[in-house]
Amino acid sequence: MTPLVVVLSSPSGGGKSTIARRLLAERDDLDYSVSATTRPPRAGEVEGREYTFLSPEAFEARAEAGEFLEHARYGGHRYGTLESEVRRVIQGGQHVLLDIEVVGARLVRERFRDAVLVFLLPPSGKLLAERLRTRGTESTEVITARLTRAQEEIAAAVEYDFVIVNDDLEEAVHAVQAILEMEARRTSRQRGLSALLERISHEVAAEVRRGDPNG
C-alpha cells in the first residue's frame, strides 16, 4: 500500500479536530501530523499531541532552518507542518492526516501532487457560529475574526478533491472513511499491483493447463 497524504480543511468550527480524532481512533493505518504553532495551548491541549507549541522566535528559527513543509499565518499566529512529522508517519507505512488551513493545503498539493484534499463544510453559517460559540475555546472577538476568515476559506472549497457537509457527525466520518478506502485502491497507488497481476495470471494459466474444469 502506498501511504496517502490526506488533508482536512474547513472553516474554524467546521469539525476537523472532531473528525480527525474519530478517524485516528478507528484506523490504525492512519496517523496524525502534529503541526507547530505559535498560538497558546487551549485548556486540555497537550504539547506534542495537538501541536508542538513554539515561541515566535523558535518558530522563525525552524522556518529559517527549512524544517517546514509549509507554513501559514492564521488569526495573528503562525502554523506549520513539520517535514519530520510527515516523514515519520509515511516511513512507518501509515497514511498521514493533516489538519491545516487552505493556504497550507495548496502548498501541500504542490509538494504531493496526489495528496487527497477534503474540505468540510458546516450545514449553515448559523450552525458554524453556534458550534464555535459552544466549543467555548475562543473569545467573541476571536470568533468574529475566524468567521470573517471563513468566508474566503469557503470560497477555496472548490479547489479540494472532496467536499463533505458535516451535518450528522457519523455520516461525515463515514464519508471520509469511504474516501480513504477508495483512494487507497486507485490503480496508480497500488505498489504491489504488477506482482499481484503477474501471480494471478500465472495461476490462471496453470488452471488452463490443468484442463477444462467441466471436462
15 binds ligand ADP (CB under 6 A): yes
In angstroms, give the least distance from the CB of 152 to ligand 5GP. Answer: 12
C-alpha 158: how far from chain center: 16
Sole binder of ligand ADP in the list 58, 169, 178, 193 (CB under 6 A): 169
How many Å apart are CA 162 and CA 120, to the nearest integer?
9
Query: According to the binding rule CB under 6 A, does residue 9 interact with ligand ADP?
Result: no
CA–CA dist 82, 108 (Å, integer): 12
Look-up of cell digits 498560538: 39
Query: Helix, strand, or coil here: 9?
Result: strand
**Which cell numbers hold the place of 66?**
527549512
12/16 Cα distance (integer angstroms): 8
Of 22, 102, 166, 180, the one binding ligand ADP by CB under 6 A:
166
In the complex, minimum distance from the CB of residue 116 to ligand ADP, in angstroms, rounded to a whole number: 18
Write out the residues near ligand 5GP by the rule CB under 6 A.
12, 16, 35, 39, 70, 72, 74, 79-81, 99-101, 103-104
Write down the least CB distance from residue 122 to ligand ADP, Å.
8
Residues 131-150 within binding reach of ligand ADP (CB under 6 A): 131, 134-135
Contacts of 153 (CB under 8 A, 6+ apart): 9, 10, 11, 101, 102
Contacts with ligand ADP by CB under 6 A lie at: 10, 12-18, 131, 134-135, 166, 169, 172
